[in-house]
Amino acid sequence: MSRPLRQPREELRQSILDAARGILDREGMEGLSARAIAREIDYTAATIYNVFSSMSDIVMEINRETLAEVALLFSALPKDLSAADRLRALSKSYVCFMQDNPARWNALFGGNRERESFPNWYTGTIEGLKLQLAHLLIEHAGDLDRVRAEKLAEHLFVSVHGALTLGVGRRLDLLTQRDTLDVAMSGVELILNSLTAEAGKL
């Protein structure tokens, strides 16, 4: 077996990530292995460990890209909509993105976490998304203190997360005939309703 031409480190790194991304999107998490990546880029599994120190580091790198895409999604909101409609649009595009990329979802949120601590780009991005949700909620219902807004944003995130977990894991049909987006969006409406109802009472 002939040794492949040398590649600069950074280039090889990118080849590995490209291959990994491809396999992940094509065959899902269970198809992603060091040997599969090596096969694809015409190297040996051991070579991968000269660049990444573990498989989970590779997955983490893909997660970084995924989170960046999600953050982009969150930042690309039409400015002319009401806060409620922007929240709806946001939720919808998030759910659709994850539903269209189930393997990315599994890489990001599947299984129990292995790391004790997450890098800043990870925690920071999620914190940012949460704050953006909270901001939209405050804009939607002005009389809403920061703490409560964040709690509601957390609830929003959690309930959408539940719908996506069940949906992507193909277990939502155990509970309902509705599809993932429908379930997630009715959760959004529930929060919006609860805010307007409360505002009407005061």
Partner DNA sequence: TGAATTATTGAACGCAGTTCATTAACTAGT
Partner DNA sequence: ACTAGTTAATGAACTGCGTTCAATAATTCA
15 contacts DNA (rule: CB under 7 A): no
Phi, psi of 185 (to 5 degrees): -70, -30
Candidates 74, 97, 109, 121: give the one binding a second copy (CB under 8 A). 109
Looking at beta carbons only, is 12 or 141 nearer to a second copy? Answer: 141
The reply to whether 159 sits near a second copy by the rule CB under 8 A is: yes
Residue 154 zone, left/alpha/beta (φ > 0; ψ -120 to 50; rest): alpha
User: With left for phi above 0 and alpha for psi between -120 and 50, is residue 149 left, alpha or beta?
Assistant: alpha
CA atoms of 120 and 29, how far apart (whole Å): 24
- Applying CB under 8 A, does 201 fall inside the site for a second copy? yes
For residue 11, the surrounding DSSP H or E stretch is helix 9-27
x-or-dash string of contact with a second copy, 48-77, rule CB under 8 A:
------------------------------
Residue 112 interacts with a second copy (CB under 8 A): yes or no: yes
Q: Do the Cβ atoms of 71 and 129 come closer than 8 Å?
A: yes
31 contacts: CB under 8 Å, gap ≥ 6? 23, 24
Does 170 participate in binding a second copy (rule CB under 8 A)?
yes
Q: Which residues bind a second copy (CB under 8 A)?
A: 28, 106, 109-113, 118, 122-123, 126, 130, 150-152, 154-155, 157-163, 165-166, 168-171, 174-176, 178, 183, 186-187, 190-191, 193-194, 197-198, 200-201
